[in-house]
Amino acid sequence: MGALFSVAEIRQAEQAAAAFLPQGSLMQRAGQAAARLAIELVGATAGSASVPPRPVLVLAGPGNNGGDALEVAANLAQAGIDVSIIHIASAAPSAPETAQALARARAGTASFADAIPPDEKWALVVDGLFGIGLARSIVGAARTIVEEVNAMECPVLALDVPSGLDADTGAVIGPDGIAVVASHTITFIGDKPGLHTFTGRDHAGQVALARLGVDDALLPAASVHLNDPSLFEFAFVPRAHSSHKGSFGDVAVVGGAHGMSGAPILAARAALYSGAGRVFVAAIDQGPAYDPVQPELMFRDAASLGTAGTTIVAGPGMGDSANAIRILAKALDGEEPLVLDADALNLVAASPDLQVRLAARSGIALLTPHPLEAARLLGVTAAVVQGDRLAAAREIAARYDAYVILKGSGTIIAMPDGEAAINPTGNPGLASAGTGDVLAGLCGSLLAQGWPGRDAALAAVWMHGEAADRLVAQGAGPIGLTAGELPAAIRSVLNRMVEQRPRRCALPQS
């Protein structure tokens, strides 16, 4: 479920399928599937029956993606829809199936144009300029077309991948590149990672998959999936009536250097609201004696905190003092589950000694970097990390034998064994201060309750995003959504997930 495949894997499956099919079969199937979706979209925008239907603009590039578009145009014209085609021909001879699609389009009622007619109002634009084979920036006349399409207000349906977007990474291809901003994408044979992370979420819109009849056996076993409760739902277990506060673990949030006490409090509230039995704020410097909003939280001096039996969340507002480094080293040397966030990640990135301690520890380590923190851990720039988020997260996970949550649009969850997931929940409301602290506290809470590292990482990211989505649905955002609103929303999501599971109780820990 939710399998994602690289361009190389899709190419291999496509070639294997084509070897057993008549020439052009996959292109024809792609054109039929996309035409069906296009007709649905045109119908959704048609409005009153008394208003003449608007035409559809089909953009066909020089390669096989353009052939898919020409098949779409021929099918739409055959369905009685007014279709205009802009075809960017290749100087080299077209593939036979693409030439066949062009002949079909020319034989129908669709009209061809050299440029987008000015002032035309379109029901839909179908983007088939460039597909998964594009390797350089879109330039020249094609770039002008993309700019014009991105200025339109009508729906845009991209074929396989929005033109100009890297299907593996979600980055716009090339320096000073440009990509179509689609409202919908129909992708073929298998779903692609780049449609769900980084700028892919902004460019792809709603993604639909058309398998084109390709046998599952032709695709490899997927190592990347869309994050979904089916990947971790067994970990949601109703609590036994005989539970007590010692049944669900202790969490200590280590942070709160001078002037930064808010960060660990946010993390601690998230741990409390997501079910940890006892939650401590272990302050680096003297700060508040208690939290007036959540007096259940207990405050301690980080230097004197005992860590035996306690899951540590280190980093929120931790600072970079010598005291912070000593306390972090002590936590790294322990065997209890450990979440590293924010300043703790920066301290590790700056210290070869701490890096060795992290890589060598036997207990679970879960890292939650944003792109700049990930770049510091890898010794590269944030642009390099964002250029291939999946590869960056996997490299950190392998280097430190840790579970890694690379935050951002389409958050990446990478496991030490190379498995990875891309998270589909969440919205721009999470792009505000403190939301990462909440995520770290949630991760620590699940680990303290005995969740395996893989499931804790997957579930925490999914619930964090789902909580933000529910808040937006209730009118609290995305603009102005605050981190402080998330813990209660996460609690609601968590309890709903538990309610949906079979009534099999988790017996309390001794």
- Is 255:283 a contact under the CB 8 Å cutoff? yes
pLDDT, tens digit (0-9, with 9 covering 90-100), for 153-191: 999 999 999 999 999 999 999 999 999 999 999 999 999
pLDDT band at 52 (very low <50, low <70, confident <90, very high): low
For the CA atoms of 180, 183, 186, 192, what is the dihedral angle to 10 degrees? Answer: 70
Mean pLDDT of 389-396: 98
DSSP category for residue 302: G
Secondary structure string (H, E, C) spanning 400-458? HCCEEEECCCCCEEECCCCCEEECCCCCHHHCCCCHHHHHHHHHHHHHHCCCCHHHHHH
pLDDT, tens digit (0-9, with 9 covering 90-100), for 124-162: 999 999 999 999 999 999 999 999 999 999 999 999 999
pLDDT at 1: 66
Amino acid symbol at 127: D
245-499 CATH fold = UDP-N-acetylmuramoyl-L-alanine:D-glutamate ligase (3.40.1190)
Classify domain 3-219 by CATH number: 3.40.50.10260
Q: Tell me: pLDDT of 45 over 70.
A: no
Q: Tell me: pLDDT of 409 over 50.
A: yes
Q: Tell me: pLDDT of 461 over 90.
A: yes
Q: What is the mean pLDDT of the chain?
A: 95
Rounded CA separation 53/82 (Å): 8
More confident call, 89 vs 436:
436
Q: Tell me: pLDDT of 504 over 80.
A: no
Residue 124, CA distances (Å) to 76, 114, 119, 137, 148 in order:
11, 18, 14, 25, 14
Mean pLDDT of 202-222: 97
Mean pLDDT of 84-99: 92
pLDDT band at 48 (very low <50, low <70, confident <90, very high): very low
pLDDT, tens digit (0-9, with 9 covering 90-100), for 369-385: 999 999 999 999 999 99
pLDDT at 242: 92
| Residues 6 or more apart whose Cβ sits within 8 Å of residue 506 | 237, 238, 239, 240
The verdict on pTM exceeding 0.85 is: yes
Q: Which residues fall in the annotated binding site for (6S)-NADPHX? A: 64-68, 131-137, 160, 263, 317, 370, 437
Q: Which residues fall in the annotated binding site? A: 64-68, 127, 131-137, 160, 163, 263, 317, 370, 407-411, 436-437
- Is 129:145 a contact under the CB 8 Å cutoff? yes
* % of the chain beyond a pLDDT of 90: 91
Burial group, residue 216, by CB count within 10 angstroms (0-12, 13-18, 19+): exposed
Q: Tell me: pLDDT of 46 over 80.
A: no
pLDDT at 50: 46
pLDDT band at 508 (very low <50, low <70, confident <90, very high): low
Domain ranges of the chain: 3-219, 245-499
pLDDT, tens digit (0-9, with 9 covering 90-100), for 53-69: 899 999 999 999 999 99
More confident call, 423 vs 50:
423
- Is 169:196 a contact under the CB 8 Å cutoff? no
Q: Which residues fall in the annotated binding site for K(+)? A: 65, 127, 163
Q: Which residues fall in the annotated binding site for AMP? A: 407-411, 436
pLDDT at 375: 98
pLDDT, tens digit (0-9, with 9 covering 90-100), for 241-294: 999 988 899 999 999 999 999 999 999 999 999 999 999 999 999 989 999 999
